[in-house]
Amino acid sequence: MSQPEYGENFDQAVDWLCTADQIVVLTGAGISAASGIATFRDANGLWKRFPADEFANWKGLLQVAILQPKRLAEFLLAVLQPIAQATPNAAHQAIHRLVQMKPVAVITQNVDGLHQDAGEINVHEIHGNLLEIVTIPGNTLVKKLSRNDLQCVVDDLEKLLTQVWPGAQLLKTISPLLGTSHGTFHRPNLVLFGDQLAEPAWANAKNAVQSCDVLLAVGTSQSVYTEVSLIDEARSSGVKVVVIDPEVMNGDLWLSGTAEFLLPPLIDAVRQKAG
Ligand code: OAD
């Protein structure tokens, strides 16, 4: 049955998803917007408040830490607080339902771990995961933080912001994320600009794209190399690309709207049609 309230391309997307043998779902910041996590490049995006050339690479962050520790504390609070308090929204839950229904590989650029919180699924996290703490060097997993652990760091950062020059205290406050333990350095498992993409997630992501029939791109601005190259790779191999985004339409089929509005009925319609 046609569902015009979801736009003219909705039924076509249902058909493609139903008949696909292998599906890739590629998610970006937009899917977590309804969970309270700001995107990067929208009007109130993170990079609008904290420019990417200063805050999206380790060298820039070190400079800010030395010269403007209070500004760094503000940035960390802006990143950590929403993730500490986030829960999966209807879009994450819909993707989990799709994974239970069909062969699906989920690739995400998000570091918030919300896909996994929506249900037991394997996710290729090509930009890493903020809640995983790894060694420097070596990237060996040291521990997984809970959202409560993150909230404790957030609470301490809030107290720190009442100080004029939080310098040395800042290092102590963020030590669960970045610091030393048992004689080794540790940091969050994050890919910043200039870093290699996370492995084996990136190799797995490329393999998944090469063997899928439909790629569903959700809430990505398609302005970062990783997402652009995966979508280009898909299109050049004849994969059908469906885009769900309120603004970006670079695909074979555009469903214009938010992920939390469109994904639940889309996946329900796939389930109904597949019987
Ligand atoms: P962006 O912030 O660049 O783009 C977010 C996209 O989500 C935009 O296309 C919005 O139109 C869309 N959007 C906003 N709200 C939405 C909603 N409720 N439902 C669906 N879509 C919505 O984020 P990404 O493309 O994910 O990398 O950017 C990826 C990378 O940019 C991040 O991983 C990060 C950043 O620089 C690094 O730091 C290395």
pLDDT mean across residues, the chain: 94
Helix (H, G, I), strand (E, B) or coil at 255: strand
pLDDT digits (tens, 9 = 90+) for 223-275: 998 889 999 999 999 999 999 999 988 899 999 999 999 999 999 999 999 87
Task: Read off the DSSP letter of residue 220.
Answer: -
For ligand 1, what atom is nearest to the CA of residue 40? 2
**Per-residue pLDDT at 111:** 98
Pocket residue to mutate for ligand 1, from 31, 109, 130, most atoms within 8 A of Cβ? 109
Tell me how far the alpha carbon of residue 72 is from its chain's centroid: 22
Tokens 């521990």 appear where? 143
The ligand 1 atom at the shortest distance from the C-alpha of residue 42 is 2
Q: Quote the pLDDT of residue 1.
A: 54
Q: d(Cα 2, Cα 42) in Å, to the nearest integer?
A: 32
- Residue identifier of the C-alpha nearest atom 38 of ligand 1: 192
Catalytic residue among 92, 124, 127, 186: 127
How many A from CA of 193 to the centre of ligand 1?
Answer: 15
Backbone angles phi, psi at 214, to 5 degrees: -135, 135
Tokens of 219: 């809430």
Q: Is 1 exposed, middle or buried (0-12, 13-18, 19+ CB in 10 A)?
A: exposed
pLDDT band at 166 (very low <50, low <70, confident <90, very high): confident
| Mean pLDDT confidence for 114-135 | 95
Which token pair is 105? 């590989």
Rounded Cα gap, residues 91 and 35, in angstroms: 10
Q: What average pLDDT does the segment 66-75 reach? A: 94
pLDDT in tens, 51-70: 999 999 999 999 999 999 99
**Confidence band for 2, pLDDT divided at 50, 70 and 90:** low
Look at the pTM and tell me if it is higher than 0.85.
yes
In this prediction, residue 99 carries a pLDDT of 97
Predicted pLDDT at 181: 83
